[in-house]
Amino acid sequence: MKKFFTTQAQPWITLLARLILGGVLLAAGWIKAMTPTEAQSSVRVYQILPTGVANSFGLILPWLEIGIALLLVIGIWVKWSGFAGGALMLLFIVAISQAWARKLPINCGCFGNGGITADGKVHPWVYATEIMRDTGLVLCAAFLMRFPGGKFGLDDRKGS
């Protein structure tokens, strides 16, 4: 069974983890890169960074995500691109948790969504589902750091 895992299953799980983490980062990054002002707002709403810094970070973050995503999907430096992706997800989890604790609405745009509705009611599921999704992605990242070698990655072709 253990042998089956290392020789058969693990490389495919690594590929799957790369595609899941990379795919989510690519989609998230691309959507945000196409709507920069919304991306800036989505950093500001967490009220962690000063407004000016948050606005700059909001412009750069999507491209960082796209970069990490490409490395993961193509399979380069999997151990470290996995680490970077996981670190981003941990950062998001911290940001969402503190927003939840401070009762800050987290989706930008019209009020009424994003955890707090117009009547001031807090909807914990909005925060909780985001945190659960990011936790799943952190697990993908952890797997990649432990087992970076997989299928169809550019680095997998090396004859080592």
Partner 1 sequence: MAKKEKKSKLDAKDNGTRNIVIGMIILVIVVGAITAITKSRTNSHATAPSAVATSDGYGIEFNKSAPVKVDFYEDFQCPHCRDFEVVNNTYINGLVTAGKIHAVYHPMSFIGPESILTAAASACASDQGKFLEMHKALYQNQPATENDGTWTNAKLVQLGQSLGITSSAYDNCVNKGQYINWVNNVENYAGSQNINSTPTVLINGKTLPQGDYLDPVAFQAAFNAALKASRVK
Task: Tokens 């962690």: give the residue.
Answer: 48
What is the C-alpha to C-alpha distance for residues 142 and 148, in angstroms, rounded to an integer? 10
The residue from 6, 112, 128, 135 that contacts partner 1 (CB under 8 A) is: 112
Provide the CB-side half-sphere exposure for 26 (13 A, CA).
12
CB of 126 to partner 1, least distance (A): 15
What is the C-alpha to C-alpha distance for residues 74 and 120, in angstroms, rounded to an integer? 45
158 binds partner 1 (CB under 8 A): yes
The residue from 11, 67, 136, 149 that contacts partner 1 (CB under 8 A) is: 67
What is the C-alpha to C-alpha distance for residues 86 and 80, in angstroms, rounded to an integer? 10
Number of amino acids touching partner 1 (CB under 8 A): 39
62 binds partner 1 (CB under 8 A): yes
Interface residues with partner 1 (CB under 8 A) are 33, 35-38, 40-41, 44-45, 51-52, 55-56, 59-60, 62-64, 66-67, 70-71, 74, 76, 105, 108-112, 116, 118-120, 154-155, 157-159
